[in-house]
Structure 1
Amino acid sequence: MLLEDNKSLYSRLENIFEEVVKNNNTKIAISHNGRYLSYAELNSRANQVAYHLQNIGIKSNERVAICSERSIELIIVILGILKAGATYVPIDPELPTDRKKYLISDTESKVVIGMNLEEWASNNTINISLDDNFIPFNKYPTKNLNSINSFNEETVCIMYTSGSTGIPKGVMLTHKGIVNVLNAKQKEHRLSDDKTLHKAPFSFDASIWEIFLTLLTGSELVLADPHGQKDIPYLIDLIIKKKITTIHFIPAMLNLFLDEENVKECKSLRRVLCGGEKLPANLIDKFNKKFDIPLFNRYGPTETSICVSWWKCDRESSEVIPIGQPIQNMKFYLLNEKLESVLEGEIGELYIAGVGLAKGYVNQEQLTKEKFIINPFNDKDFPYIYKTGDLVREIQNGTYEFVGRNDNQVKLRGFRIEISEIENTINKFEGILNSVVLINSNSIEKHNIIACILGQENPRLKEYLQKKLPSFMVPTKFIWLNEWPLNSNGKIDKNLLAEKYLEFRIENEKQKDVTSPEEILNTISRIWMKVLDLQHIDKEADFFELGGHSLLATQIISRIKKELEIKIPIATLFECSILEEFSDEVLTLTNNR
């Protein structure tokens, strides 16, 4: 059974994988830093995980949480959970402890597999330590298990996204929905002897296609180092060394990728996929100047199984960048507020139907009913439609253009964020009356969260938020106010807030020759101010306390490389985040080159 065969649409992911193994036993399935597993070895180890899970009582469709950095063992465990008939729940190890515990509780996961579990996991779950020796699983058989007596409508994984009420939403994705999109992707891309770079965090839905499109086509899955997805020079070196053919970027990272001088050396690439945010037209032009390969603009909410449409970008310049047409077994509806169809060319809210729809949200029945509604057009093939909140218009030949959002949701560095979740979390802190969260987006690379707060100023707020929210949702700036600016209707004037506090303050400064420690410090300080949009930085300041994050760290490293002509590992900034300490490290590397 091949993935592009229509028969696969009625199968589960692990069943298709086992069929692929039969014809690719000795072929490399997965690799990382010199370690390799063949398809036969990967299958055998995944079987051991499945036997162990069944032995400790895991039954079909029960949930197993995984909390681990990207590794070969992580992929083995994911496959093993599916072979046991269970559902995997990915948990980012960098999440705050409270958030990790909530995800385990919300999904009622009976087993937690991962690293450093003794530091935070509850005694109410069966906790299995994941290490390179694979000790917990080695004693179990390596042969395939008996086929699971379950249907492909059952859940593969639960992906959590931001929730408007302050509670994250667990989206239940099915085998049927994921196989459908992988089937469509394979018909488009025709992977066979390819090498896909797996760099998306496994709690991010793009990881699903990176892993399974590769392993279900007999190709090689090449793993980037943990945090490697943040380091553009490292990724370019890896693409060249491993001869990567397929890679995915969010637009902001693609822009930084194209800025690198040696990006044209990535000659093995056959296709680049881009998604997670709106793709700017000028970025396509920039890509086409560097590469003569297809660039695909990918679209799809998590609730529709990762990806529901894509567009192969034109080589010629265009102001309108389509998101393409819905894939097989999926359908688009553009509706107005009365759930009536809009005319071609008019903007409407996009509703999506088809086999790719998720089963809904974990333990949020009311929200599921609000978002997955009965199809008002009585289409028997598509009984439910998903309300995306995206504003879209049909442009020509059945293709569609993404226009924007009709609610308080934004995409930030590829992550879907409900502004109201941040505001609700802030408002729960002692002494705060109300808050308004703004997104600063000066360019494709710069996206900062700014919190305007009515209440008594408290420096402990950021520490509180870091314990409650993922790092990408913690505001980088806090503006404390005594009163709100109001518009003529007596409501908070958000436009005036944005005008006042979303200013870009730093002007370009001339580069200077750098020879002394003082000049190194001054140069690094100037680069930090430019990237972080600040007018002054103390030498004791912490990059992350100033609002830095992985994407801005990549910009810092790139600017240093251009100005000082030295290559600094991005890990250096994460390990030495104080300005003076980081400058000392740069000086040492400069002197040793």
Structure 2
Amino acid sequence: LPERLLLDGFERMAAAHPDRVAVSFEGTSLSYGEFSARVNRLARHLIAQGVGPESLVGLLVSRSVDLVVGMYAVVAAGGAYVPLDPSHPGERIGYILDTAEPVCLLSTTADAQAVGIEPADAGLGGGGAVGGGRVAGGSVGTLAGVPVLALDTLDTSGFDAASLTDVDRLAPVRPSNTAYVIFTSGSTGRPKGVAVPHSAIANQVAWMLAQYPMDASDVYLQKTATTFDVSLWGYFLPLAAGAHLVVATPDGHRDPEYLARVIVEQRVTVTDFVPSMLTVFAAHTAVGSVPSLEHVFVIGEALPPETVTAMHAVSDAAVHNLYGPTEAAVSITYWQATGDESGSVPIGVPQWNSRVYVLDSRLHPVPEGVTGELYLAGDQLARGYVTRPDLSSDRFVASPFDAGRRMYRTGDLVRWQRVDGQAVLEYLGRTDFQVKFRGQRIELGEIESAFLAQPQVSQAAVVVAASQLGEQLVAYVVPAPGQQIVQTVLLDAVREILPTYMVPAAVVVLEAFPLNTSGKLDRKALPEPEFEAREFRAPSTPIEEIVAGVFADVLGVDRIGADDDFFALGGNSLIATQVAARVGQALDVQVPVRMLFEA
């Protein structure tokens, strides 16, 4: 393929079909012409603030039209966007900003207030200098010394709405320039920023649209967190093909009933799921109720054939299993699932301009059927990790098969197997303590570091434990001398550091860790966790009795008291979707999943 930029396809579509609907969110829609104009005006404003090639711009915005406009504007200006989740702890957001050192941070009034920005001084609002000489044109304040621009109040009407060229930018944009930086969980206890160039993500967009063509008749439902690189499919594929992008409400990805309703109302044809959420969606969607759905992209964890079968029972949509780490621009292998596979669905074969190698510890290829570590090569590799040349050189290694080129060491264990005579990859697990948990890539070491940062903890180990409720994150801790550990207090402290999906469901306190003959932690000897209820207080109203009955049934316990905590008993975001659906059916009302998190 000729080298391309990420927005090339969108710019062609905006010029050819300005009146076609481009983006919709909660009843508001923008045509390609309207969306392009907003993007271009904001891009010119960003250029005036010093944004250009290799500049980073933070994006702290909940799912909305403003989020999509901001994302596209940063890339159109020549910069690279760094997504941040407003619901993540302030310490994590601050660390990412300190590491990335963005020129500015795009947000909204509500999101900026939620994370606690420092209000702008009266003399700075019109464009004074703040934070190390940065210019805060229209800044409403700062966060970690970075000027914050509120997209819902920023006036860009004075800027030209025409498409940008390199003449308008501070410097020409090249395919080798960074398009985005996504911070993923890091084994040292700190997130690491993966810098992905235009050439890599443009290859992914081109391959996806060649393999799964879209046009004006298609509608893509985008519901994936912006901090998860799979979100790029939804944000960039449809608009590169002249299709319609529908953005889900911020909490919508947790609610299968909401998703089914939007698919019907918006005639959605394409969307994506992590396997665990697809399982929940299939279980709570009526047969034939989403007839418009044609393609479901699945990625993020091993896909059980049973999930494919369950989805095929309620929808005729094709289920595509894709695989790829953030370091390889979303996905790099693919397989159309049938549900007839045994074990788990294969992750398939390489996409174009990509190569995969299954190697032993000496970087020698292993025979078919033999387990080895998966290495990736080709056009979709990331440039490396922001400010971490040591980690970049450890994970991106010289290729012995292609002089002068690199390979990415995934840490994933795979093997080649034959399916209908074709050699395909089968995913088997990890080589280290990095895990895929409900679609999110997590370094257990990062969670352990959060526990070790607490003064009452001397040792910590985190595992993914099987339970009757599915896989759960469980922390094992040893108290510091003279200290006592209270689970609720400890978890509250950890929540100040880690995002919700990384907070364990239970804490097990031990006097000492079990050790193996080498004196190392014996993880297999760690005791099974117990999820305990509070002192029992019986439900006192008919509604409390109904809710308690649903909780008890879903959690698999004998009884639930009025004061019991759903999450302390082992509940999680996936099980919460089942509870919300069943309580809603029992009471004949709509119960948003977020009510369980806010209660």
Find out whether 1:117 has 2:92 as its counterpart: no
Aligned match of 1:582: none
Q: How does 1:189-338 map to 2 (within 5 A)?
A: 189-192=212-215, 193-314=217-338, 316-319=340-343, 321-338=345-362
Which of residues 450, 462, 479 in structure 1 aligns to 2:491?
462
Q: Determine the structure 1 residue equivalent to 2:514.
A: 485
Q: Which residue does 2:444 correspond to in 1? A: 419
1:53 is aligned to 2:46: yes
Distance, in Å, in 2 between the alignment partners of 1:229 and 1:486 is 41
Is the 8 Å Cα contact of residues 24 and 39 (structure 1) preserved in structure 2?
Answer: yes
Equivalent runs, 1:100-179 vs 2, <5 Å: 100-115=93-108, 116-117=111-112, 119-120=116-117, 121-122=142-143, 124-131=145-152, 134-147=153-166, 149-179=172-202
Pick one of 9, 20, 28 that aligns with 1:16. 9
Match of 1:433 among 433, 453, 458: 458
- Once residues 280 and 467 of structure 1 are traced to their aligned partners in structure 2, the CA distance between those partners, rounded to angstroms, is 34
Q: Measured at CA, do residues 383 and 28 of structure 1 come closer, stay the same or move farther in structure 2, by a change above 3 Å? A: same
Contact 2:183/2:191 (<8 A) preserved:
yes
Aligned mates of 1:316, 1:495 — CA distance in 2: 33
Which residue is 1:510 aligned to?
A: none
Q: 1:518 to 1:256 in 2, by over 3 A?
A: same
Name 1:389's counterpart in structure 2: 411
Change (3 A) 1:222 1:530: same
Inter-partner Cα distance in structure 1 for 2:587 and 2:65: 36
Partner SS for 1:345? coil
Give me the whole-angstrom Cα distance separating, in 2, the residues matched to 1:315 and 1:281.
Answer: 4
1:321 counterpart SS class: coil
Structure 1 residue 398 displacement after superposition: 3.1
Contact 2:100 2:386 in 1 (8 A): yes
- Within 2, Cα distance between the matches of 1:296 and 1:279? 10
1:520-579 per-position Cα deviation (integer Å, ceiling 9, x unaligned): 32342243245456666542344455554432221211232455555423243344x1xx
Instruction: Indicate how the Cα distance of structure 1 residues 393 and 82 shifts in structure 2: closer, same or farther if over 3 A, else same.
Output: same
> Equivalent residue of 1:203, what SS?
coil
- SS class of match (1:457): coil
- Residue identity in the other structure for 2:148: N
Helix, strand or coil at the partner of 1:407? coil
Q: Which residue in 2 is equivalent to 1:501?
A: 528
Q: Once the two structures are aligned, what percentage of the paired residues are identical? A: 33
Amino acid at match of 1:453: V
2:424 is matched with which residue?
A: 399
Distance in 1 between residues matched to 2:205 and 2:318, nearest whole Å: 18
What code does the residue aligned with 1:84 have?
A
- Asked if 1:560 is matched to 2:589, the reply is no
Q: What is the CA distance between 1:448 and its match in structure 2? A: 1.9
| AA of the residue aligned to 2:158 | K
What is the deviation of 1:493?
2.6
Unaligned runs of 5+ in 1: 1-5, 507-515, 578-593
SS at match of 2:155: helix
Quote the Cα distance in structure 2 between the aligned partners of 1:345 and 1:200: 34
C-alpha separation between the residues in 1 aligned to 2:197 and 2:319? 28
Aligned counterparts of 2:289 and 2:588: Cα–Cα separation in 1: 19
- TM-score under structure 1 length normalisation: 0.89
Say whether residues 1:573 and 2:579 are aligned partners: no
Q: Distance in 2 between matches of 1:56 and 1:489?
A: 57
Alpha carbons 2:256, 2:285 under 8 Å: kept: no
What do the CA deviations read for 1:155-186 (whole angstroms, capped 9, x no partner)? 11111110001011100011111111111111
The answer to whether the Cα contact below 8 Å between 1:166 and 1:425 also exists between their aligned partners in 2 is yes
Of 79, 89, 97, the residue aligned with 2:90 is: 97
CA contact (8 A) 1:63 1:89 kept: yes
> SS of the residue aligned with 2:334?
strand
Measure, in 2, the Cα distance between the counterparts of 1:42 and 1:94.
27
Structure 2: distance between partners of 1:284 and 1:442:
22
- 2:26 maps to a residue whose letter is N
Offset of 1:208 from its aligned partner?
Answer: 0.6
1:370 maps to amino acid: D
Indicate the SS of the match to 2:163.
coil
Structure 1: how far apart are the matches of 2:466 and 2:596? 23
**Cα deviations across residues 422-471 of structure 1 (Å, max 9, x unaligned)?**
1122112113221111212347x733211111113333322221111111
- Return 90-99 or 286-295, whichever deviates more: 286-295
**In the alignment, what sits opposite 1:580?**
none
The AA in structure 2 aligned to 1:472 is Y
Q: In structure 1, the residue corresponding to 2:373 is in which secondary structure? A: strand
> Where do residues 345-356 of structure 1 align in structure 2 (5 Å cutoff)?
345-356=369-380
How many residue pairs match? The answer is: 553
Instruction: Check 1:505–1:344 CA distance in 2 against 1; reply closer, same or farther (3 A cut).
Output: farther
Partner of 1:588: none
Measured in 1, the distance between the counterparts of 2:321 and 2:531 equals: 29
Indicate which of 49, 65, 74 corresponds to 1:72: 65
Q: Is the 8 A contact 2:531 2:569 kept in 1?
A: no
**Match of residue 25, structure 2, among 29, 32, 45:** 32
Report the alpha carbon displacement of residue 505 of structure 1 after superposing the two structures with TM.
Answer: 9.6
CA contact (8 A) 1:274 1:296 kept: yes
Classify the secondary structure of the residue corresponding to 1:29: strand
Is residue 545 of structure 2 the alignment partner of residue 522 of structure 1? yes
Distance 2:218 2:194 in 1: 30
Instruction: Answer with 564-573 or 248-257: which moved more.
Output: 564-573
For the 8 Å contact 2:74–2:81, the answer to whether it is kept is yes
